[in-house]
Amino acid sequence: MALREILILPDKRLRLVSEPVKTITADLKKLVEDMFETMYDAPGIGLAAIQIGVAKRVVTMDLAKKDEDQERRVFINPEILWSSEERSLHEEGCLSIPEFYEEVERPVKVRVKFLDLDGKAQEIEATGLLATCLQHEIDHTNGVLFIDHISKLKRDRITKKFAKAAKRAAE
């Protein structure tokens, strides 16, 4: 296992559309382990492979609270099959947009199909934090960031702030 560097806005790779995983390999399983280690270290509750520069449709997630046992979940090639018309607001943040949080409106319930780490097809219906997190991470696999769901004014302000910080860091 190895810690990987998390890409930070305005890195253009965050806008790439990730490729589907064709076969479950030892390399893919190592990628998943690295993703969990990186996600826990950050610390975060979800991570898409593109956030560490790997354009594969792989998501890791653990929604357990700090005092609870880990609940590691892996979603390979996740796809939303259905989402409810009912919507709700949740405060979201992102490891690729550190220390910025904003209310985002998303469907309350989603049905998602995916492959597990054994390559078996799975389907779940999710609500609450799991639904929000799945939508957020699946967005990443499609090159979409949570700030794309907020007002243009706020999004532009955030993008400029991170672009300036990246420019300063490069100097």
Q: Helix or strand or coil: residue 139? A: helix
Handedness of CA 30, 123, 131, 85 (dihedral sign): positive
Active-site pick, 85, 91, 99, 137: 137
Active site residue 137: yes
The whole-angstrom separation of Cα 57 and Cα 65 is 26
Q: Which of 89, 59, 98 is nearest to 76 (CA)?
A: 59
Encoded tokens for 20: 């589907």
The whole-angstrom separation of Cα 101 and Cα 85 is 24
The whole-angstrom separation of Cα 29 and Cα 155 is 35
The whole-angstrom separation of Cα 54 and Cα 32 is 11
Residues annotated as catalytic are 137
